[in-house]
Structure 1
Amino acid sequence: MPLCLYPANSIKWGCLCLLLTCVLFLSACKQVSTKNSNHPALADSIIDKVNTLLNTGQQERSVIYLDSAYRVFPNPGIADLWKKYNQKANYYLYYDKNLVKEKLYADSMLSILKGKESQYKKEYAGAIFAKGDVLMVEKKYAEAFKCYYDGKLFAQKNLDSCSYCQITYQLGMVRYKQGNYLRAIPYFKQAFAENSHCKADAGFSNLFIYPQSHLNTIALCFEQAGVPDSAVYYYKRALAFIDRNAGRFPEKKQFAEMARAVVYGNLGGAYALMNNYTEAGKYLQESIHINNRPGYAIEDAQTAQLKLAGLYIQSSRFIAADSLLGQIEHDLLAGRGKSQSNADNRLKWKKLKWNYYDKTHEVVQAYQYVQQYDSMRDSLDEVSKGLKIADIDQGFKNIEQQYRLTLLSKNDQLKTTYLVAIIVFAVMTIIILLLVWYNLKRYRNSVNELTKLNQKISEYNTQMQKTLTALEQSQEENTRMMKMVAHDLRNPVGAMMTVATMMLDNKHGPGDDRTMLELIKTSGKNSLNLIDDLLQIHTRLEELKMEPVDMFTLLHYCVELLHFKAEAKGQQILLTADHLTISVNREKMWRVISNLIANAIKFSPSGAVVSVLMIGKEDSVLITIEDHGIGIPIEMRDKIFDMFTEAKRPGTAGEQPFGMGLAISKQIVEAHGGHIWFESKQNNGTFFYVELPLNN
């Protein structure tokens, strides 16, 4: 979308307008919040170079340069790509006249901004207008006006007046292209007023380019409408603005010169309409002198040359007119300064050639050029035929009316929905009130029964609480008594084992007595093991005395104590562990490990290997005891950790089980904040796992 486009019939300043567009995008990048991936300085330098090539008449080279520069662009951001697509859309709209490519890049501008409209507000408004420009070329005026209307609403809601001024300017340009010059003037005046709100740091575009172009375009409207005195007034205002503000931007001196030359040319045309040929010639020649150079607005210089040639013909200076028309013809054929105004300049040139030959009474040549002129004019009129009869103001009113009708329809639907909701709510309220009344009646009838029931429940709860307390006290007393009895039994049973051992050490005793003594020793040992298990029942965390223990040393000690028991069955115990220190109760944890290893020995066949493995994890220690024994049957697996369980079996050598070792081990491990579990396959061995926290 050209944010600063001068009227094609009089300004002839297409390349310069693209430069204005680029400067606008630079200021937009300052106002729009961009991500780190955008590179505004690099993107703007590329666009400036492209416009320089356009200004010097190198249109094809400008496109090649733009593509090449972006091909090596380091990760271009959304705003960077938008500038490229906007430049391409303008090129194919005003220079190459390729509708397919223009539409492609206009759609691309909207595509990359999808979902990011609130972040790139100014770019999004420009993209909507670019889409409207495409629809205008396609002669879909109703759709184009809708795009312009949507863009206008979006800009009014999201942009400040300084940023919004070029949107207003663009709407005025639609009126100008239709030839409704006087109806276009209010738009340009409004744009100038909106631009006056720009702050001192708003940039070169907002502070210089746009205001002088607004004044210049207002003057052009008066000139085209046949009011040359008002045109001269606004042209002089534009020159005064340029003279007053050019010094603020010394680095833009060349642009200021081009802008001044453009106004000179237009002012010369206005003086010509007032028959002030002296002033007209002076300003036209000065305009040509400045802009008819590489890097300047050459196409505008051609417009001034055409106006000057017209003066020469009117004043019968035919030799000067013929020479100037020949120079213009050469430039047009060579494509020098080709822009969106090129076709209009060709049409004017043909009309001047017709006038020249008519004035010099060369009828045949005059007839040839009048035919060429009429044919080309008809062709151009056909292109803009629909545009001239389209009414953008009425289009906006129709769109606004449609929006209002849609809004009214939605309001009616909403009101209908509210009415239905109110009716449903009223019915539900009545139903609820009836249900409340019915339930209240039932409640009153039931309240006494509920009160009695609550009293009974309260009595039952009190009785149950007393019973539970008594059971807990009884369990504690039973446990205390059992531990006292077990502790008192250790001494006599231990003494019995000691006497039996001493008598067995006497090798001269009778053989029958030795057999009885062995039975007494074995029974005493089993009794001590049972007593030890009873003393470990109901281990609690508060009863544990924790201390730092090297688990490798503890495991090694357990293995060494049970080494002889394993050798008696021809078994081997393998220990694999590192030195890891954790806080445990040494005696309790020794009993857990010893119990698990003893079980592995008990239920493994002769010659088997029992493996003990310890590994350190991130926040725990995992101990694994693996045997290759008879395994645990499926029907016993849910019971082996129960106290006084019936899941008891004799060992592979007939060892006597008590059924409390695993239950006690589970209590000890859980009192340490750990976890114990197993994995087993019948007749294929068992894995017991003990996991203890590192920080206990």
Structure 2
Amino acid sequence: MSLILLGSCSKNQSEDASTTNYYSKEIDKGRDIYNNNPAKGIHYLDSVLAQHKNIGTANLFEAYELYCTYYYRVHVNYDKAMRYADSMLNIIQKSGNIKAYAKQLGICYFSKGDIYFATGHFPEAYQNYYLGKVTGKNNFDNCTLADYSYRMGMIMYKQAHFSIAANYFKESFAESTNCTMNFVTFYRMQELLDNTAISYNKAGLSDSALVYFDRTLVYLKHEGPKYNERADLIEVAKAVVYGNLGQLYIAKGDYIKAEDLLKKSIAINLKKGNDNRDAELSELKLANIYTKNNDPGLLDLLTDIRAQLDSVKNPDAEVEWNHLMANYYERQNELKKALHYFDEYDLLKDSVAKTTQKLKESDVNQQFKDLENQSTINNLKTDNQLKQNYLTVALIYSVMALIIILLIFLNWRRSKASIKDLSRLNAQVLQQKDILEQAFKELEVADKEKDRILRAVAHDLRNPIGGIASLTALMLMEEMDTEQKELLELIQSATNNSLELINEILEVTGNTSLNTGKKQMVDINTLLSNSIELLRFKAAEKNQKIKLETLETPEELFINREKIWRVMSNLISNAIKFSPQGSDIYVKVINEGDNILISVTDHGIGIPDNIKNQVFNMFTQAKRAGTAGEPSFGLGLSISKQIVESHGGEIWFKSEPGNGTTFYIRLKKAVS
């Protein structure tokens, strides 16, 4: 899905200008040599570093970055690559001005994360990706954030979360528009468009995929002429898109168009120095067409691919080649040869599957949440210390103020006897006023402290209860007698219900959690598809099906993706909870001109008339148990209503007791 190019990172302006310019030219020359011949480029840098010892921080960082990339991508020597990544971090830390090298620091964390990811150390990889994200966020560096979104997209793609991957690639493209525009940025942006299209295609959204493939080709056509000196690589990029488009038309059954695109791709990328691996994959796609059409040229094509695989290794292509050979000989009724290639196919397929299984089993979202939670805890500790310091200062000033008041009072007592009574009355009035004001302030503080304590308690309870839920799930996987299993299932149900309540308490007591937050253009069809996909397993537990009817023409709304996602998940979860076993749930999107109307319909127990006016109240007394005894906490619909109204929308429902319920959401379209 990608072709890595090396570009120059930003340099620190505080270093001596003449020295920096000299070494910059030397390292730029080494990079240019590297892009054409990596080994020669590294040899040139060796000579530069050997002859010159006083290279500045920014230039030395660029040299180490080149070494790190070389051992990571060309030699696949992860130990050496990690040593250079650690050296990159070390020279930034020694500079004494880390903030000035925020861009380089982000690159360093992402490089370490890539190496950990390649070696299967996923927790360490996610931690470094998170640090890279924080570096970019704290320094308002959208280029670093674009690198983070790109990596998250690649992780989601490899975990087969294709719709989520597409959203990350689109986000990375938008963030990349703020980067310094050069050939490296241009090439990454066309890759992001192509990756978005591939992800949509994998997700079964072929129309959206076709739109983004066309956008990629248009982008290459319009922006490519600005970089005529790299015309060869631009042709390679076009060839990659042709090959991916060919796969889309194969899925549509348009083999003529697919064959034409694949042949165009192969003709370009089979050339020496071009992307031969992509050419092999395109040839295998072409071989699949030949297989379906019983084309007599199939064996010759497979023979050519075999020769290429012997010189350019490609594990994924190797698996597919053996599969096609087995199918070919099976059709020729040469079963012995077919069996041989089937055995090779199974062996290679299992080997490739093992390398991705660990990645698919890792919960990247949970690990990033844990990292964010830990960061939040550290920030709270720092804020708490500052508040204690401020409180100490305030107490000192309060004592001083009391002393001053006492001195004034004593002075008044020494004044004329005629005003003694009046002074006493005035003092009493002032004292009562102070007491009332203090009491009011204490009430305000107590209210805020109550929310803080509630959040803190809920937050502290979430981790141990989550741990209990995880351990219970693991124990349920073991063999045991029926009584033990029933007890564990009760524990698991109780912990899951507790976690759900804790999460809703955290959200409803947060200061800003229900605000609209950051908005962006979001495809409503994709958002609903993602929401439903994540809840299908929950519906399956009650043998229910969720049916979605999307807009014929994709429509993007200017909304906060996560907030509206939460609203949809809440409504669909309620439909599952209050519907009987084996029923269907319908989600529908309707175009209403200036608005989009979304409905969630179930055929469940409905809402009684006497509690209809209470369902949107916070901590409502209208909460009821689900059809399978699921608990309800009375917070979800209140939170959903606040989120929808903060977007300028409206939410309502229609329900008949015993005949189901339909919830409606109306959101405004973005003003063009």
Classify the TM-score, shorter chain. 0.5 to 0.7
Deviation at 1:116, TM superposition (A): 4.0
Instruction: Decide whether aligned partners of structure 1 residues 62 and 247 sit closer, same or farther in structure 2, where only a CA change above 3 A counts.
Output: closer
How many residue pairs are counted as aligned between the two chains? 407
Deviations 1:515-553 (CA, angstroms, capped at 9, x unpaired): xxxxxxxxxxxxxxxxxxxxxxxxxxxxxxxxxxxxxxx
Match of 1:475 in 2: none
CA spacing shift, 1:274–1:247, aligned 2, 3 Å: same
- The TM-score with structure 2 as length reference comes to 0.55
Moved more, 178-187 or 319-328: 319-328
Q: Residues 66 and 363 from structure 1, CA distance in 2 versus in 1: closer, same or farther, beyond 3 angstroms?
A: farther
By how many angstroms is 1:293 displaced?
1.2
TM-score normalised by length of structure 1: 0.53
Give 1:432 shift: 10
Deviations 1:188-237 (A, max 9, x none): 111222233457xx32233x312211111101112222333322221121
Q: Contact 2:57 / 2:91 at 8 angstroms: preserved in 1?
A: yes
What are the residue-to-residue correspondences of 1:149-548 with 2, within 5 Å? 149-161=130-142, 164-197=145-178, 202-206=181-185, 208-317=186-295, 319-334=296-311, 336=312, 342-416=314-388, 419=391
Q: What are the Cα deviations for residues 394-441 of structure 1, in whole angstroms up to 9, with x where unaligned?
A: 322222222223333444444455556666776788899999999xxx
Structure 1 pair 214–73 and aligned structure 2 pair: CA distance change class (3 A): farther
Checking the alignment, whether the CA contact within 8 Å between 2:136 and 2:142 is kept in structure 1 is no
Q: What is the CA–CA distance in structure 2 between the aligned matches of 1:153 and 1:122, rounded to whole Å?
A: 11
State the identity as a percent: 33
Shift of residue 127, structure 1, vs aligned partner? 0.4
Is this contact kept in 2: 1:232–1:271, CA < 8 A?
no
For 1:231-263, what per-residue CA distance to the aligned partner results, in whole angstroms no more than 9, with x for missing partners?
222112111111122222222221211111111
User: Which residue is equivalent to 1:677?
Assistant: none
> Structure 1 residues 66, 228: CA separation in 2 closer, same or farther (over 3 Å shift)?
farther
Of structures 1 and 2, the one scoring higher in RCO (CA 8 A, sep 6+) is 1
Q: CA deviation at 1:387?
A: 1.6
Structure 1: runs of 5+ lacking an equivalent: 1-5, 7-12, 55-59, 439-696
User: What are the superposed Cα offsets for residues 355-383 of structure 1, whole Å, 9 maximum, x if unpaired?
Assistant: 33333333222222222222223223222
2:68 equivalent to 1:89: yes
- Larger Rg computed on CA atoms: 1
CA contact (8 A) 2:11 2:58 kept: no
1:22-33 equivalences in 2 (<5 Å)? 22-23=6-7, 26=8, 28-29=9-10
- After superposition, the Cα gap between the structure-2 partners of 1:298 and 1:77, relative to the gap in structure 1 and judged at 3 Å, is farther
- Which residue among 36, 45, 52 is the counterpart of 2:36? 52
SS of 2:317 mapped into structure 1: helix
Partner of 2:621: none
Pair 435,396 (structure 1): closer, same or farther in 2 beyond 3 Å? same
Q: Does residue 148 of the first structure (1) align with residue 134 of the second (2)? A: no
**CA deviation map 1:428-466 (0-9, x unaligned):** 88899999999xxxxxxxxxxxxxxxxxxxxxxxxxxxx
2:286 partner letter: L
Q: Deviations over 1:558-588 (max 9, x none)?
A: xxxxxxxxxxxxxxxxxxxxxxxxxxxxxxx
Q: Which residue matches 1:18?
A: 4
Residue 108 of structure 1 aligns to which amino acid in structure 2?
Answer: S
8 Å CA contact 2:132–2:144 kept in 1: the answer is no
Alignment root-mean-square deviation, CA: 3.3
Q: Is the 8 A contact 2:150 2:169 kept in 1?
A: yes
Residue in 2 aligned with 1:42? 26
Residue equivalent to 2:638: none
What is the CA–CA distance in structure 2 between the aligned matches of 1:175 and 1:287, rounded to whole Å? Answer: 27
**Which of 66, 70, 77 is matched with 1:98 structurally?**
77
Counterparts of 2:319 and 2:45, CA distance in 1: 31
8 Å CA contact 2:143, 2:179 repeated in 1: yes
SS at match of 1:249: helix
8 A contact 1:185–1:218 mirrored in 2:
yes
Residue by residue, what CA displacement relative to the aligned partner does 1:87-133 show, whole Å, maximum 9, x if unpaired?
33334334433332222122112112213433332221110111222
Q: 1:243 to 1:405 in 2, by over 3 A?
A: same
Stretch moving more, 154-163 or 322-331: 154-163
